[in-house]
Each structure stands twice: as C-alpha cells, then as structure tokens.
C-alpha cells in the first residue's frame, strides 16, 4: 500500500478528514521552503503537495503565479525540487505529492522523472494540465515506479469523464470545487456535494476537494462530505505576507495556521 493510501486508512479509522497542504517548491527561497515543508508536516498536514514551478501556470490564480515567479527567480528546477524532497523524506514519513504541469516532466523525460521522483521519496504526482486522455505514456511508467497517479475531476466533468478519472487514478482523486483557477475564496460553491456523490458511485478512492479552500471552517465543511481538503493559495499568501517579518515569523505563522486547519478535519 502506498504512503498515501496508508494515511487515508489511518484517518478513516480515526474518523478524521485529510488535510492536504500545497506549497511551491523554493518559495520564498529554497532553504526556507524546505524548512516549511517539514514544519507543515510537523503541524499535522496529512499530505503535502510540493509544486514544481512552471513558467506558464495556466490553471493558477495570481497567488500561485506569484509564488511560481518567486521560485523561478531563485533558480528552482524540477531536479532541485526532487533533491529537496529527498532531504525532507530523510526526516519525515509524511506523504509527498508533486504537483506540476506536464512540460517540465516531459523535458526531463517521463521515465527519468518517474524514476528520480520515486527515488527521492515522492508518493504521487498531479499534473494540472494532463487529463487522463493524455496520460498514455505517463500512467504505466508511474505505476512501474509505484507513484500514485492523481487526476482531477471538475464540476463540468460528465459521468464518462469521471469514470475515466476513476480508472486512471490511484492514491486519491482531486475534486476541483469550482470552474476556475486556484485561489482563496470567501465561500464554498454549492455544486460540490453533487459532484462528490456522483464520483462516490464510481470509485472507492478517497476524494479530496481543492481550489478556494482557505479557512478552517471551509476545511471542516469539506471534511463532512469528502475525505480531505486541499489548501494551497491561503498558505502560499500567508508565506508571502509574513516574509517581511522574517523567516521565523513565516515558520511560526504557517505552523499555527496548518495546525488550525488540521484541527478542523477532526471536527467533522
């Protein structure tokens, strides 16, 4: 069983939802980024998504566009991200997922990327711009290296699309809460329960909801109907905001926030 699946079965026994936290690798700088991942794990995140920055993040809103830009300015690459993950892995058993776009993976070579990711201790991979239809090369290679292949469904997905995503996914399914790009929002959209209900009938895999989940009360609401909640932009903007006050401020603010978010997964 993969680290991701194990984590979900533990959480199920405990009656908790999963807190999935996204950060961009190398943001705000490579050294602090590594400390942040460890601190987020320590604060109770169940799964951490580490974003490999891509110059043209077309599924991302302004917050993650900015963190991507900051990371690229610092010279972050796919290879340096995997090296960071390997160092994190030597100190933590937290499930780690790489989230990126297809081009950086394709340029490294799909097989080489899978091998190096698995070697670094990555447990799963999400590529935002790779629907399962285009995963013909990726899917078998990922499976061979025991990487979970996490695909996304959206509110616009038809039953046929959901079935395809269910077939191709492992670890969990990423359920996009709304039509749109990543970014913190005030309210949860109303169509989420319907989407989850439809997907439940097609798969036993855990369902995690992301996009726009930015507060403990959102996490709590999501964990009532889903297996986990993904928080990205809210953490990334907190990092940017606290950065003026120095590294320790960033670490403690993020640690506190993740702890609060994790608490919310227990209050379902």
Q: What is the contact surface with another protein in residues (CB under 8 A)?
A: 54-59, 61-62, 65, 72, 77-79, 101-108, 128-131, 133-134, 151-158, 161, 165, 176, 179-181
Question: How many CB atoms are located within 10 Å of the residue 39 CB?
Answer: 17
Q: Rank residues 26 and 216 by Cβ distance to another protein and give the closer one.
A: 26
Q: Please, which residues have CB within 8 angstroms of residue 100's CB and are 6 or more apart in sequence?
A: 51, 52, 53, 54, 78, 125, 126, 127, 128
Question: How many CB atoms are located within 10 Å of the residue 74 CB?
Answer: 17
Q: Rank residues 135 and 251 by Cβ distance to another protein and give the closer one.
A: 135
Quick one: three-class SS letters along 160-205? HHHHHHHHHCCCCEEEECCCCCCCCCCCCCCCHHHHHHHHHCCCCC
| CA proximity to 50, closest of 74, 82, 18 | 82
Q: Rank residues 59 and 253 by Cβ distance to another protein and give the closer one.
A: 59
Q: Which residues pair with 99 in a beta bridge?
A: 51, 126
Minimum CB separation from another protein for residue 159, in Å? 11
Minimum CB separation from another protein for residue 71, in Å? 11
Minimum CB separation from another protein for residue 30, in Å? 15
Helix (H) or strand (E) holding 119: helix 110-120
Minimum CB separation from another protein for residue 12, in Å? 26
Q: Rank residues 114 and 254 by Cβ distance to another protein and give the closer one.
A: 114
Q: So which residues are the catalytic ones?
A: 49, 60
Minimum CB separation from another protein for residue 93, in Å? 29
3-class SS of residue 251: helix
| C-alpha dist (Å) from residue 43 to 94, 115, 122, 183, 238 | 11, 29, 20, 22, 15
């Amino acid at each position: 069983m993969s680290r991701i699946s194990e984590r979900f079965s533990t959480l199920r026994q405990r009656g908790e939802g999963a807190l999935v936290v996204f950060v961009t690798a190398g943001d705000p700088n490579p050294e602090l980024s590594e400390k942040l991942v460890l601190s987020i794990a320590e604060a109770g995140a169940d799964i951490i998504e580490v974003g490999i920055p891509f110059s043209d993040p077309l599924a991302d809103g302004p917050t993650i566009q900015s963190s991507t830009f900051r990371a690229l300015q610092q010279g972050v690459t796919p290879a340096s991200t995997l090296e960071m993950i390997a160092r994190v892995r030597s100190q933590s058993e937290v499930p780690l997922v790489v989230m990126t776009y297809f081009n950086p993976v394709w340029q490294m070579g799909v097989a080489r990327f899978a091998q190096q990711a698995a070697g670094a201790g990555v447990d799963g991979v999400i590529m935002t711009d790779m629907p399962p239809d285009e995963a013909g090369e990726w899917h078998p290679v990922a499976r061979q290296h025991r990487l979970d292949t996490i695909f996304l469904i959206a509110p616009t997905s038809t039953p046929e699309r959901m079935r395809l995503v269910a077939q191709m996914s492992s670890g969990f399914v990423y359920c996009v809460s709304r039509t749109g790009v990543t970014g913190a929002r005030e309210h949860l959209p109303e169509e989420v329960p319907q989407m989850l209900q439809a997907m439940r009938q097609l798969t036993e895999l855990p369902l995690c909801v992301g996009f726009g989940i930015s507060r403990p009360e959102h996490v709590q609401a999501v964990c009532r109907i889903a297996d986990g909640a993904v928080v990205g932009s809210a953490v990334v903007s907190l990092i940017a905001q606290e950065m003026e006050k120095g590294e320790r401020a960033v670490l403690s603010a993020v640690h506190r926030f993740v702890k609060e978010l994790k608490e919310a997964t227990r209050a379902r």
